Chains A and B, each alone.
Chain A
């Protein structure tokens, strides 16, 4: 079959590889009908995530048709059209039972490696480093899906591929970023990063009753989308300046309080302005830190006293110069984690089915799987106002 394979930084190729097989009783094989490139795939593409090996099949946002089932999967049938959570979860451990599916105890075959890195291992993920399992991803014609009896959800006929696809990751990820913050009526939510996850965080904040949403990004097309689609106010750091000036602007916009909830939807590759960005960029390229945590610093500095900093953006290793004094003295709460997709899948599917939201609004490009290398290149360079690419095998 054809699959998008990682061969190093800036090197994605469409390779011919072996078809996946059923390996465990709870597996399913899915014939992929739609798959998307995620902003976090750019961290792999840029070579920022440790634990990748040449030839790894990438992609964690995919849906398709069930073509084969393991002996223990009884809730699906061949031919079902399903959407698949990017978090691989057994559904039967302490964490899955508690709704923390991205922390599943049992789904990471390389848990021992993750424990060395992070103390404990989160769940396995599709196509996202050997630290998180080394599972083959879904930017391919076929993909093996473990624990198919608890992960994949059958898509109602009235919901199209393009409307369902983002339930795999970015819609629930943006939603969890807000839902985990105990938002109160009238709260102001500031969201750094208006890529797809940021857009869904903005949409979710509005859906969950935020008073105001402030969208922050250096790319004007993304800010336009945030304003047009969700009525967000916008802030472009290129117009405002460095970290201190952004914090000041947010303080001014909220009459001195600061945003009640600050969302870092950017993660480890943040772009900034001035000396701070230069400092982090140099340290990152010298491998002295694995992240450029500019946004995280801004979020902590800007956040209202006793407010919440929510981090859906992906980090892998270490970061420095985190303003821990602000964190402590302002009594901030940090909420973060990979997304517990299985936990949000049904309620969000209901929203889509009812027409409360049409997630396809983020799509800017539709391409063939063969064109993946160009798609990655375009998405990374933000050429042609690229925000979200959907590919069909």
Chain B
């Protein structure tokens, strides 16, 4: 395993938000927003909901308190709260990794065609290719808020690495990098995704869009899990019962 930098939820020091009162307010608002998105997610059901988002810890807590395990559950819940509310203004860095039993070239090829990513990334609704190194990304949050940005590729090493950044004036300024590293023992490829969001007004400003849900390590991890499912099994599993039929994803 390659080592991963721990996620820094603290961000930069920002004296404007430093007072305890302000922090409390921010915490309450962000929680309210996320509970709202929780309800929407539950109503919608399926993958877009909360089950696979920032609240999976909470779900595990709920599930586990069905019978015992209360201590574990509570600490998971505290973890979820920290993710959502501990962030102040400044950059937010998220990273996650997954092992996929496929060669790195195949994984790179899928990912490099950005138009295929909405199939695996919960919040991305569409990607338009503007030029070989330019693309426009459309995203929707569980609350129904939409946002978009234009990205340009800053590094592209076939079979190994793609790095990108949003161009000036994007709703949510961000940079990202995906790396494909051969896994030990011929067990496929370790895929490492790193995202960095510039949040000049803090996570709170993103909350009204429901954007907080997408800004969690769990959400990034789930998107990588979908990538693995599509590359290995050809489809993203679902246990949905009341949903409209679709043809799924064929690689």
Chain A interface (Cβ within 8 Å of chain B)? 17-18, 20-26, 47-52, 57, 70-72, 88, 90-94, 97, 105-113, 116-117, 124, 129-131, 133-136, 146-147, 287-290, 316-318
Contact = CB atoms under 8 A, between A and B. Distances in A.
B243 interface: yes
Q: Is the interface of A mostly helix, strand, loop or mixed?
A: loop
Interface residues of B, number: 44
A133 B239 contact: yes
A94 to B, nearest CB: 5
Give the one of A92, A112, A117 with max B CB within 10 A: A112
Given A23-B248, A109-B239, A113-B56, A50 B66 contact: yes
A18 B242 contact: yes
Interface of B: 47, 51-52, 56-57, 59-60, 63-70, 76, 99, 101, 187-188, 218, 221-222, 225, 228-229, 232-243, 245-250
B245 A22 contact: yes
Contact of B101 (A17, A52, A94, A111): A94
8 contacts: A17-B241, A23-B245, A57-B241, A93-B233, A97-B101, A105-B232, A113-B59, A116-B60
A24 B187 contact: no
B67 A287 contact: yes
A134 B239 contact: yes
B96 to A, nearest CB: 11
Given A48-B67, A93-B101, A94-B187, A18 B241 contact: yes
Contacts of B76: 116
B63 A106 contact: no
B232 A117 contact: no
B239 A72 contact: no
Most chain-B CB neighbours within 10 Å: which of A22, A50, A97?
Answer: A50
A90 B101 CA distance: 13
Given A111-B225, A112-B222, A288-B68, A133 B237 contact: yes
Contacts of A90: 229, 232-233, 237
A117 to B, nearest CB: 6
Contacts of A290: 67-69
B235 A26 contact: yes
Contact of A25 (B57, B234, B239, B242): B234
